[in-house]
Amino acid sequence: MLKSGMLPNLIKGILRMKTAIFVAIGAEPLDRIELDGAAVVGDLLGLLKHRGVNIEELLIFVEDHDEPLEHHHPLHGHDHPIFHAHRCKKVEVTVHYKTDGFKHKFAPSATIAKVTRWAVEKAGLGKEEAEEHVLQIHGSRLQPPVNAHLGSYAADSCAVVFDLVRKKLVQG
């Protein structure tokens, strides 16, 4: 049983606890950051500025969410504490498949898995055929991992072009 006056101290203790979050800034890899349990987006932006990041026009997104967070939005309480910081509110994606091309705008925090699901649907691939295809950066052999953020491949612009290609099957 709690004694009188212990509840406010308990709440203060919880708020002082550190919350670990992961942040990707543009093309940079995920960075683990610890903030107070009561931290909000504005606190994260302040920390990034202190680390030398130009935060002007920088938006913070929760992974796979479409809209940026407001500065007063808490950083704790998310199922997956992974955030993406980017200057673009949307990234225009073009996907080439055979002779077709598809365009759509996604948040920079969209995972490659989400974009791939959209692309295979637009291409009209069945479930089995869809599992045999991946996105590849147009004009390269780079196939981004499915858990990577779209914004990581649109660091210098608000657009990225992919090819939807058959996975390379290793036979041995």
Tell me, yes or no, whether 54 and 108 share the same domain.
Answer: no
Tell me, yes or no, whether 16 and 57 share the same domain.
Answer: yes
DSSP per-residue string spanning 104-125:
EEE-TT-BHHHHHHHHHHHTT-
DSSP per-residue string spanning 128-171:
HHHTTEEEEETTS-----TTSBGGGG-SSSSEEEEEEEE-----
Share of the chain above pLDDT 70, in %: 87
**Cβ count within 10 A of residue 103:** 11
Output 100 or 10, whichever has higher pLDDT: 100
pLDDT over 80 (residue 30): no
Tell me, yes or no, whether 96 and 126 share the same domain.
Answer: yes
Please state, in angstroms and rounded to a whole number, the distance separating the CA atoms of residues 116 and 91: 15
Domain range for 38 is 6-86
